[in-house]
Structure 1
Amino acid sequence: MKKLLIAAIGVLFFTTANAQEVNVGLDFYNRYVFRGVDFGDGPSLQPTIEFTSGGFTIGAWGAFGTGNGILTNFNEADLYASYDFDFGLSLGATSYYYPGSSWFELDKGVSSHALELNLGYEVSGLSLSANYIVNDSSDGAGSEGGDMYFEIGYSGGLFDVFFGAGDGWHTTNGNLQVVNVGIGTSKEIKITDTFSIPMSGSLILNPNTEQFYIVVGVSF
């Protein structure tokens, strides 16, 4: 795992030297809900630093709670890389990490990262994704080991709908369950004639935990 992360950092520095585009952004959401699971009970700042060259993308994304409680100060800092093909297919990998533990490893033979392989396909508003955690259960990193998540979505203009199912760390019992059903939309808040702030919102139901969320945020 450590060798994979060091290799990813090497690719990051190589890519920055030849990057065609650099993106830096910050989202502010009323709460952080990922794949139907609520991480924290307060507002979340979510920064992004991303480099792209052709179809190749490598970047870093995080979520940092703004409260002082045990749940509201939940932090996450991920690295990811992907390649998008012209016909709608995308292949990638994501390294999930939670600040507070050693970035390199928690203990001998136990990683502080959950490494996930990502597969996606988009065509005519329809999107499909499949994700698989490479770590086994003895590797720790907050995952059950071999966790899977599948999602289908459709963008119909005014609204987007999505339906996701997962197992392992996505569910309460570790078995494959429907965990993420919802509808989302977005708009731009006009500030001046030349400046607008994107705003998005989602209604999310997790049938596995029987929880319902309203998530709204702005992007800069």
Structure 2
Amino acid sequence: MKTSTKISKLLKSGLLALVGAFLISSLNPETAKAQEISTGVDLYSTYVFRGVAFSGPALQPYVEVSEGGFAIGAWGSQGIDGTTGSLGFQEMDLYAGYSFDFGLSLGLTDYYYPGTSWTDEDSHAFEINVGYSIENLSLAGNFILNEATGAGSAGEDIYFEAGYTVGAADLFIGAGDGWHSSDGNFALVNIGLGTSKELVITDTFSIPLSGAVIYNPDSEQFYILAGLSF
């Protein structure tokens, strides 16, 4: 068995074990008191991830269980711009992570795109996520563990991003290789500005509204997008 296949099987089994453990423990009244279970859905005009557009309008649901600094969850994206009788772009991910009080966060994400068998090891790309935030500055590094995969990555892809908050604006710049760039070489792929506000509906109800402008110097593509969160 290839090393990458062994890694995929171990990581997928580990994520499923974590999800199962949290679900079981949430049935215990004493444990459930310390846990927070949340769910929601975002509606975006365009699904852009790390400077690459995956679909037009998309619904993006999530379910997350957290306790202290630890969180596990499932996140998906369903494109609603498919042709009649077919689905748009789909992505269904599992993740787990831990956030420390001093700004460091560590995580693992399992990327899966429906259309291939979920039980097939080559259908998954596993990525280590490391982040650090201090005041208005944020830094992130990401690395795909698979040596090669058919799950939307070239294998061993890397991506780095820096962000800085100025007032209501979030500035960011990111670079990566593998699937992130047009030729697989390391390149600047994600420059943008984002912001958010509360869309007030009534005195007691409001909807978070976010927006961003993004330019990808590698692909020379420019995007303007907005999203609502429910």
TM-score (norm 1): 0.94
Is the 1:43–1:72 Cα contact (8 Å) retained in structure 2?
no
Q: 1:62 & 1:125 partners in 2: Cα distance?
A: 29
Q: Percent of aligned pairs with the same residue?
A: 55
CA offsets per residue over residues 33-54 of structure 1, 9 Å max, x none?
00000002x2100001001011
Is the 1:97–1:112 Cα contact (8 Å) retained in structure 2?
yes
SS in 2 for 1:38: strand
Structure 2 unaligned spans of 5+ = 1-7, 26-30
Aligned residues: 214
Residue 106 of structure 2: aligned partner: 91
Q: 1:166 & 1:69 partners in 2: Cα distance?
A: 31
The answer to whether 1:167 aligns with 2:177 is yes
The one of 210, 215, 219 equivalent to 1:205 is 215
SS in 2 for 1:111: helix
Indicate the structure with greater helix content: 2
Residue 75 of structure 1: aligned partner: 90
Is the 2:82–2:89 Cα contact (8 Å) retained in structure 1?
no
Structure 1 outlier segments of 4+, above 4 Å: none
Structure 1 unaligned spans of 5+ = none
Give the letter for the 2:52 counterpart.
Answer: V
Residue 128 of structure 2: aligned partner: 117
Q: 2:87 & 2:51 partners in 1: Cα distance?
A: 17
The answer to whether 1:12 aligns with 2:16 is no
SS in 2 for 1:51: strand
CA offsets per residue over residues 71-106 of structure 1, 9 Å max, x none?
97000000000000000000000000001110011x
Q: 1:13 & 1:5 partners in 2: Cα distance?
A: 12
Give the letter for the 2:102 counterpart.
Answer: F
TM-score (norm 2): 0.90
Q: 1:120 & 1:5 partners in 2: Cα distance?
A: 22
Is the 2:39–2:62 Cα contact (8 Å) retained in structure 1?
yes
